[in-house]
Amino acid sequence: MARTLEVWSRRLKPPRARGRILPRLWLLSDPDRLPDPRAAASRLPRGQGVLARSVKRGVLRALARLARARGLMLLVGGDGRAALRVRAGLHVPDRRDARGLLPFLLARRAGAPWALLSMAVHGRPALARARRLRPDLGFVSPAFPTASHPGAPALGPLRWGMLAALLPAPAVALGGVGPRTAGRLPLRRVKGLAAIGALRG
């Protein structure tokens, strides 16, 4: 399944930010479904990305070493100081603030090449925040029904495409994204695919 999603990701035009080509394929950790993403991350192709959410400090340090060794881009979910410690990017959640956001933004403004900024985008309210923070990419979700949030309403391809078009940054599709659903997205708007189950192996 992971291989098939990788093939889908190759159809996408890779986005650029801060002079770098950004990943087209993202693995996400999850406190319940994938608390330690290192094994799955070790199977990702070089140049792809990992978004570490709610991982333990020791796991994050080891994941950062793995990412550097394998040429993967690493984002840390919701904790700017942790991102600074491991020299990784920061992912800002949609419905809550990221801890240590200001020190991270200062490092970003000073030109730290690894200080990429991403945001979660679940609806229109996040777009105003994106215009203020000017992230390098946005994870627009949930594109489809997802095991991470059973029963939660999904955007569907049409609403996903509308949000992606309004986002002032490249849009990554997250939520129920797999080999059977990736082709239903408006590919001209999709700059990356993100998953847990489809890349867990």
pLDDT tens for residues 125-184?
A: 999 999 999 999 999 999 999 887 777 789 999 999 999 999 999 999 999 999 899 999
Q: What value does the mean pLDDT take over residues 4-15? A: 90
Q: If pLDDT is split at 50, 70 and 90, which confidence band does 51 have?
A: very high
Q: 65, 41 in Cβ contact below 8 A?
A: no
User: In terms of pLDDT, which residue wins out, 167 or 201?
Assistant: 167
Cα 176–18–159 angle (5° rounding)?
30
Provide the pLDDT for residue 74: 98
Residues 122 and 138 sit within 8 Å (Cβ to Cβ): no
Q: What domain range is 144 assigned to? A: 2-200
Domain count along the chain: 1
| pTM for this model (two decimals) | 0.95
Contact 140, 155 (CB under 8 A): yes
pLDDT at 2 over 70: no
Q: Three-state secondary structure along 88-141?
A: CEEEECCCCCCECHHHHHHHHHCCCCCCCEEEEECCCHHHHHHHHHCCCEEEEC
35-53 average pLDDT score = 97
**CATH number of the structural domain spanning residue 101:** 3.20.20.70
The answer on pLDDT for 104 being more than 90 is: yes
